[in-house]
């Protein structure tokens, strides 16, 4: 299997509201396993692990300090948690500064929602010159309901795939988390 290298892992909105219970994304059990493997491999390699935690609106499933707002995978010592209120994980979070300090240039992304915060963060990373890896089995979204004019709904798995496709050919879509190899960031800018 061909592997792609990353020197940092960004977990986008991997919060309890989306990962467990009746309101979890479809396929959440498989998603939990994939992200757990990816996170374990990043930790074992000693690369930067950054959690982006969404501060949802009051009353939303991810409203700050609610049960759903909590990170599904608790960070360990040395990992970073940045709070955000926008889809783009770079807006008003300090993510750019942190990545610069860490020397990270090759980012593996996982989380949700595929077409919203995950895609917005991936696009923003590309615009800033980062290499972006997206394992197919490490992001998810909800079913898209039927739309106007009788348009049919879209199953979550297809919506997630369409979100991948919408990112264009600059993002490296990988078949799964096993295709991500983590290595420490180069101090020489390579």
> Which residues are designated catalytic?
117
- Which letter does DSSP use for residue 144 in this model? B
Give the number of other Cβ atoms within 10 Å of residue 46's Cβ: 11
> Which residues, including other chains, have CB under 8 Å from residue 102's CB and lie 6 or more apart?
8, 48, 185
Given the structure tokens 């390579």, which residue do they identify? Answer: 190
DSSP code per residue over 86-103 = SSSTTTTTSHHHHHHHHT
Paired tokens of 62:
């991810």
> Which residues, including other chains, have CB under 8 Å from residue 118's CB and lie 6 or more apart?
12, 13, 109, 110, 111, 112, 134, 139, 163
CA-based nearest residue to 13, from 73, 59, 66, 65:
73
φ, ψ at 10 (rounded to 5°)? -110, 120
């Amino acid at each position: 299997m061909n592997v792609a290298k990353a020197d940092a892992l960004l977990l986008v909105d991997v919060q309890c509201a989306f990962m467990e219970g009746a309101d979890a994304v479809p396929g959440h059990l498989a998603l939990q396993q994939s992200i757990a493997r990816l996170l374990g491999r990043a930790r074992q390699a000693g690369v930067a692990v950054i959690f982006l935690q969404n501060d949802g609106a009051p009353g939303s499933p991810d409203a700050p300090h609610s049960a759903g707002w909590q990170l599904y995978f608790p960070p360990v010592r040395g990992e970073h948690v940045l709070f955000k209120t926008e889809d783009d994980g770079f807006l008003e979070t300090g993510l750019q500064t942190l990545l610069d300090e860490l020397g990270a240039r090759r980012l593996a992304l996982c989380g949700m929602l595929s077409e919203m915060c995950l895609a917005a963060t991936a696009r923003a990373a590309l615009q800033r010159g980062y290499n972006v890896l997206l394992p197919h089995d490490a992001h998810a979204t909800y079913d898209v309901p039927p739309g106007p004019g009788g348009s049919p709904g879209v199953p979550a798995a297809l919506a997630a795939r369409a979100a991948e496709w919408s990112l264009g050919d600059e993002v490296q879509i990988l078949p799964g988390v096993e295709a991500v190899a983590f290595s420490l960031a180069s101090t020489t800018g390579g």
